[in-house]
Amino acid sequence: MKLNNKTFFVLISTLALAGCNNLFSKHVKCDDESATSLVIQVLQDDLAQSLEQELKALIKNGAIKDLDPTKLKLSAKNIQFALADSRTDFIDPNSPKTSCSVDLTATIPSDLVKKSDEARTKVDAVSVEQHANNLGVNYENNKVHLTLEYVLQPTDKGDKVLALLKNISDVQTLLSETLTYAFLKPQIEKNQIRSLEANKAAVQRNNAENIAYSASNEAIEAADAATTAASEAYYEDY
């Protein structure tokens, strides 16, 4: 009986160790090429989703009557994401999760930054650089720098890897709004031209009305003067 108990204990220990070794083998390395490619894909997908939300709001508000909506979505492809020096922060012994960090650089084309700043100026919004400062984002020379934190976890089947990005929201906000303002620049300019033309037309109508009013008053005054003169002449005859 004691032998059986001892055998049972050994079997349990062996299964537990085998389970731990199997679990550990499921952890994905932070510098795995497929994992870093997945992180890039998640960054691109998150940005595309942010732009989609911006687009829905613009369409709902009737703010892009003269623009092609697809151009805003396509502009996301202009952002270049690059990862360097990935680090393993923590390997969870109780799950297949691996916590990682990596140096992220997101590059925005200079022409898009210029368009975005020009559009912002026309509507009294802060510049891209000031917007980055307000968000606490490290931005310099059209590039965003961030120590990106993320978690890698394979599925139970082990056929897929999931990536959760933890501190990217402010960067995505900056990128999304920068692209949106650049996209809106032609519409803002057209709206301002229309506003100027409408104001000019209103001034012209007002001037025409004033001229007509003055002419009418002059005609009335002339008629009154003629009536007065005729009355005076009538009384003089008597």
- What's the confidence (pLDDT) of residue 64? 82
Tokens of 86: 């990935």
- What's the confidence (pLDDT) of residue 114? 97
Q: What is the pTM of this model?
A: 0.71
Q: Find out whether 27 and 98 touch, Cβ atoms under 8 Å.
A: yes
* Chain centre to alpha carbon of residue 167: 16
What is the rounded CA–CA span in Å between residue 142 and residue 202?
A: 42
- What's the confidence (pLDDT) of residue 156? 79
Among candidate residues 84, 96, 105, 70, the one with its CA nearest the CA of residue 36? 84
What is the rounded CA–CA span in Å between residue 213 and residue 219?
A: 10
Residues facing residue 82 across a β-bridge: 105
Query: What is the chain's pLDDT, residue by residue, as a tens digit (238 residues)?
Result: 333 333 222 222 222 223 333 444 578 899 888 889 999 999 999 999 999 999 999 888 888 887 888 899 899 999 999 999 999 999 988 889 999 999 999 999 999 999 999 999 999 999 999 999 999 999 999 999 999 999 999 887 777 888 999 999 999 999 999 999 999 999 988 876 555 444 544 544 565 556 555 656 655 666 566 566 555 555 555 5
What is the rounded CA–CA span in Å between residue 91 and residue 29?
A: 9
Query: Residues with Cβ < 8 Å from 136, sequence gap 6 or more?
Result: 170
